[in-house]
Chain A
Amino acid sequence: MIEVSQLTKRYVGHLAVDNVSFQVEKGEIVGFLGPNGAGKSTTIRMLTCFLTPSSGTASIGGYDIEKDSIKVRRQIGYMPENVPLYPDMRVNEYLRFRAALKGMSSRSLTAGVGEAVETCSLNEVQNKMIATLSKGYRQRVGLADALVTKPDLLILDEPTNGLDPQQIRQFRELIKDLGKRHTIFLSTHILPEVEMTCGRVIIINRGKLKASDTPQNLVRRRLEGGDLVLELNGHSGKAMSAIKEIKGVSSVLEEKTEKGWTRFKITSKGTPDLSERIFDLAVERKWKIRELARHDATLEDAFVDLVKHDIAGKGAEG
């Protein structure tokens, strides 16, 4: 569906997007991830033909974004960042205007708009002025606009930006549902969202592609090692040295909690899972344990890792 090859956008003094290549297959839900200013929006703007790349190419549904710009745009339902709308129009009016602008015939207009209104649960506010709508509703109007012509591909730039947790959950459900009919490419910096909705993640930082994988794989890749938490009563000094002797433990942090209880945070390297060894040790030494837990790495950890390395590297260069 999307085919990006060596896409580059150069502004004065910096590269916003630097030699980025990736593919998105039909039917996928792909999360496009990166810190603020990483080049997400610039990439998306090139895909939607709002900007022209400095070099490199991209095609959508087989059409080149520069040569067949109109055909490309016909396949995309795009929801720009911050969802700009005309505040002095009514919801219905706006959607009809947009659908007509996108070339929908006047006969299919009413049905199409009706369906989009239905999908995005906009029935109650259909006849309200956009200016009077809440953020959540505006976001849904933007989404309804994106899918009114039933495009093959939905490109959503930070669709859940500025919504409250309840609305984010609703939106997520909506996107999952839409994923059954459309290919979805959504940018965000909210990680749980990606974990729950996207089949694949593309991570970009400082204009460079960092990773392109399933969220599970990204987490697993980082999981060599991992953190363990152990909380026990008494013997803190002896326990500390005993734990440190276990092969694979790289560092142990100690923290006194309540009377007599001590909490250890154990970081390991190389060995996949140390919890069994620690359990054995505890039985052997007759420690009174009330917690032994493995802290699974999250996508957030993986993301921070990927991005952090880069910042450290930059610092060394500069």
Chain B
Amino acid sequence: MKELRSFFLSPFAFIVMALFAFINAWLFVSTVNAMRVATLPYSLVYSVFASGWFWMGFLFIFPVITMRLFAEEKKTGTFEGLMTAPVRTSEVLIGKYSAAVTVYLAMLVPLFLFFPIFKMVTEQEGAFNNGSLWGSMIALVLVGFFNLAIGTLASAITANQLIAAMLTFVGVMLHYFFGFFMGFTTLPNSKWAAGMSYLSTVEHMQLLSQGLIDSRPFIYYLSFSVFILAITYHIIESRKWRI
């Protein structure tokens, strides 16, 4: 698909990817250093992914990946050529979304290579177990599906890439912060708090990066991704009827 190629062809993409890898590498090293100084109650994997620094960088990549998907085509007018070609709207949508997913997965690869490399180099078998590594990997992929869907939706709403990026960022952030509302509400044990925490990225992440894999996050993220993509589909189709 064209998306993928154009993403890898622009220098912008490499800057973003390099930056992301760099931040994570730095984070990784500092976590390892911290562990050397004092014993942490959690594994290396958990410590890396629970850090606020990681999330700062992580949440930024979604708007960057998705902002161009539809917004740019609308702005340049190539959208018209695309939609008048004999392809279904759903095919276009899935094509664009899977391109975004591919780029995202490519960005994750270096991050997950850190751990086995660390193991190989240091021969520290006890730093983390494979379960928690797999768990966090799955969690990041799931969260990614969801956030990329949000980004695709935002990009389909507007013809302005900047607006698309900001909408995505706000959406992704809100979702991320749902988990922290628990701490702010006056009724920490209310149903609301429990509901919020179920929606939160952090909550799922914590469980998964401890190596606890259950079906709830799968169902949650996958169903919501599909739901958001369905809304996106209808938004793209709505241009036909708009008066």
Interface residues of A (CB under 8 A from B): 10-12, 45, 48-52, 54, 70-71, 73-74, 76, 78, 80, 82, 84-89, 97-98, 101-103, 145
Given contacts A51-B239, A97-B2, is CB(A86)–CB(B78) below 8 Å?
A: yes
Contact in complex: A84, B80 (CB < 8 Å): yes
Distance to closest chain A CB from B144 (angstroms):
25
Contact in complex: B10, A88 (CB < 8 Å): yes
Is B126 on the interface with A (CB-CB < 8 A)? no
Interface residues of B (CB under 8 A from A): 2, 6, 9-10, 76-88, 239-241, 243
Query: Given the complex of chains A and B, what is the CA–CA distance between A11 and B81 in angstroms?
Result: 22
- Specify which chain B residues have a CB less than 8 angstroms from the CB of A50 in the assembled complex: 80, 83-84, 239-240
Query: Given the complex of chains A and B, what is the CA–CA distance between A152 and B81 in angstroms?
Result: 18
Contact in complex: A98, B80 (CB < 8 Å): no
* Pairs across A and B, CB under 8 Å, 11 listed: A49-B84, A50-B239, A52-B241, A70-B87, A73-B84, A80-B84, A84-B81, A86-B76, A101-B87, A102-B85, A145-B81
Main secondary structure of the interface of A (DSSP, over half): loop
Distance to closest chain B CB from A98 (angstroms):
7
Chain B residue at smallest Cβ distance from A94: B2
Q: Which of A84, A97, A98 has the most CB of B within 10 A?
A: A84
Contact in complex: A84, B86 (CB < 8 Å): no
Contact in complex: B87, A52 (CB < 8 Å): no
Query: Given the complex of chains A and B, what is the CA–CA distance between A82 and B78 in angstroms?
Result: 10
Return the 4 tightest CB-CB contacts between A and B, nearest first. A84-B77, A73-B86, A52-B240, A74-B86
Distance to closest chain B CB from A209 (angstroms):
22
- Specify which chain B residues have a CB less than 8 angstroms from the CB of A45 in the assembled complex: 80
- Specify which chain A residues have a CB less than 8 angstroms from the CB of B2 in the assembled complex: 86, 89, 97
Query: Given the complex of chains A and B, what is the CA–CA distance between A49 and B6 in angstroms?
Result: 27
Chain A residue at smallest Cβ distance from B87: A101
Query: Given the complex of chains A and B, what is the CA–CA distance between A103 and B91 in angstroms?
Result: 12
- Specify which chain A residues have a CB less than 8 angstroms from the CB of B76 in the assembled complex: 84-87
Contact in complex: B81, A51 (CB < 8 Å): no
Query: Given the complex of chains A and B, what is the CA–CA distance between A73 and B92 in angstroms?
Result: 15
Query: Given the complex of chains A and B, what is the CA–CA distance between A14 and B80 in angstroms?
Result: 23
Contact in complex: A11, B87 (CB < 8 Å): no
Identify A82's interface contact among B77, B86, B239, B243, CB under 8 A.
Answer: B77
Distance to closest chain A CB from B78 (angstroms):
4
Query: Given the complex of chains A and B, what is the CA–CA distance between A48 and B81 in angstroms?
Result: 10
- Specify which chain B residues have a CB less than 8 angstroms from the CB of A82 in the assembled complex: 77
- Specify which chain B residues have a CB less than 8 angstroms from the CB of A87 in the assembled complex: 76
- Specify which chain A residues have a CB less than 8 angstroms from the CB of B10 in the assembled complex: 88
Contact in complex: B86, A85 (CB < 8 Å): no
Chain B residue at smallest Cβ distance from A149: B86
- Specify which chain B residues have a CB less than 8 angstroms from the CB of A70 in the assembled complex: 86-88
Contact in complex: A88, B6 (CB < 8 Å): yes
Contact in complex: A10, B243 (CB < 8 Å): yes
- Specify which chain B residues have a CB less than 8 angstroms from the CB of A52 in the assembled complex: 240-241
Given contacts A86-B6, A88-B9, is CB(A73)–CB(B77) below 8 Å?
A: no
- Specify which chain B residues have a CB less than 8 angstroms from the CB of A97 in the assembled complex: 2
Distance to closest chain A CB from B221 (angstroms):
30
Identify B78's interface contact among A51, A76, A85, A103, CB under 8 A.
Answer: A85
- Specify which chain A residues have a CB less than 8 angstroms from the CB of B243 in the assembled complex: 10-12, 54
Distance to closest chain B CB from A92 (angstroms):
13
Query: Given the complex of chains A and B, what is the CA–CA distance between A145 and B85 in angstroms?
Result: 11
- Specify which chain A residues have a CB less than 8 angstroms from the CB of B79 in the assembled complex: 84
- Specify which chain B residues have a CB less than 8 angstroms from the CB of A102 in the assembled complex: 85-87
Chain A residue at smallest Cβ distance from B95: A101
Contact in complex: A80, B240 (CB < 8 Å): no
- Specify which chain B residues have a CB less than 8 angstroms from the CB of A54 in the assembled complex: 243
Contact in complex: A76, B77 (CB < 8 Å): no
Chain B residue at smallest Cβ distance from A97: B2
- Specify which chain B residues have a CB less than 8 angstroms from the CB of A80 in the assembled complex: 77, 80-81, 84
- Specify which chain B residues have a CB less than 8 angstroms from the CB of A98 in the assembled complex: 81, 85
Query: Given the complex of chains A and B, what is the CA–CA distance between A179 and B81 in angstroms?
Result: 22
Distance to closest chain A CB from B175 (angstroms):
32
Query: Given the complex of chains A and B, what is the CA–CA distance between A49 and B87 in angstroms?
Result: 11
Query: Given the complex of chains A and B, what is the CA–CA distance between A27 and B77 in angstroms?
Result: 29
Distance to closest chain B CB from A9 (angstroms):
9
Distance to closest chain A CB from B22 (angstroms):
26
Query: Given the complex of chains A and B, what is the CA–CA distance between A10 and B241 in angstroms?
Result: 10
